[in-house]
Amino acid sequence: DTAVSQTPKYLVTQMGNDKSIKCEQNLGHDTMYWYKQDSKKFLKIMFSYNNKELIINETVPNRFSPKSPDKAHLNLHINSLELGDSAVYFCASSQDRAAGETDTQYFGPGTRLTVL
Amino acid sequence: DAKTTQPNSMESNEEEPVHLPCNHSTISGTDYIHWYRQLPSQGPEYVIHGLTSNVNNRMASLAIAEDRKSSTLILHRATLRDAAVYYCILRDEDTGFQKLVFGTGTRLLVSP
């Protein structure tokens, strides 16, 4: 069973469209994340949710709206897609840390978004 | 977040040991040193982490300098599957839920 899964794997769409990427984790983790990897391969955090509450929002445009219906899911909805949104989007999850431990993050396989 | 410096790329032959260096001269006392790697067309995966002492796991070893200003990820016998970008990341474990701040990493090339 895949620990962190994302759908779709590839997404090709036109500028101006609205699209969603879904993420599910079956690890029982409390925290989920979205990262973006651009064409230069820089990987950067976008959002983080803990127990369905937003805890990190890294100056991402308002066109990006994460939604967490439950602890196991964190979806990313993007409005009015722009050429610059083309990238690979990775979902990740981690468990809340116990004292003295670290929260290893587990990443999904990525969704390659191409905006034409 | 404290900054790390890694070589852009390194090469190795299969079945030879690989030492991937990372400099982090501005590391603070509560920063853990984490290593993740990203295989081609995959998401990053955790490799190892440590604070002060050297660490070993089934994937790799982490050697941390006594002053903690540098560390080395050691792959004891490189395989073709180890070809990836390796990221050295500092994380302050005292400040709650933590994002990972990725640098440019080291691209490891493994030749047969």
Please enumerate, as own/partner, the contacts of B18-21 that have beta carbons within 8 Å and a separation of 24 or more: B18/B74, B18/B75, B18/B78, B18/B82, B18/B108, B18/B110, B19/B72, B19/B73, B19/B74, B20/B72, B20/B73, B20/B74, B20/B75, B20/B86, B20/B88, B20/B106, B20/B108, B21/B70, B21/B71, B21/B72
DSSP state of B95: S
Q: Which residue has the higher pLDDT, B41 or A97?
A: B41
Phi-psi group of A29: left, alpha or beta (phi > 0 → left; psi -120 to 50 → alpha; rest → beta): beta
The nearest CA of chain A is from the CA of B96 a distance in Å of 8
Burial class (CB in 10 A: 0-12, 13-18, 19+), A107: buried
- Residue A12, C-beta contacts closer than 8 angstroms, at least 6 positions apart: A114, A116
Which amino acid, A21?
A: I
pLDDT in tens, A27-74: 999 889 999 999 888 899 998 888 888 887 887 899 999 999 998 999
| pLDDT in the model for residue A90 | 97
pLDDT over 80 (residue B83): yes
The nearest CA of chain B is from the CA of A106 a distance in Å of 6
| pLDDT in the model for residue A101 | 63
List chain A residues with CB under 8 Å of B42. 109-110
pLDDT-based confidence at residue B34 (cuts at 50, 70, 90): very high
Secondary structure of residue B81 in the 3-state scheme: helix
The nearest CA of chain B is from the CA of A15 a distance in Å of 25
Compute the distance between CA of residue A84 and CA of residue A98 in angstroms, rounded to an integer: 39
| pLDDT in the model for residue B75 | 97
Please report, rounded to a whole number, the percentage of residues in chain B having pLDDT higher than 90.
Answer: 78
CB of B2 within 8 Å of a chain A CB? The answer is no
pLDDT over 60 (residue A9): yes
pLDDT over 70 (residue A79): yes
Compute the distance between CA of residue B46 and CA of residue B19 in angstroms, rounded to an integer: 17
pLDDT-based confidence at residue A23 (cuts at 50, 70, 90): very high
Distance of CA B19 to CAs A63, B62, B99, Å? 43, 10, 26
CB-nearest to A45 from B38, B100, B104 is B100
| pLDDT in the model for residue B24 | 94
CA of A43: which chain B residue's CA is closest?
A: B102
Contact between A9 and A22 under an 8 Å Cβ cutoff? The reply is: no
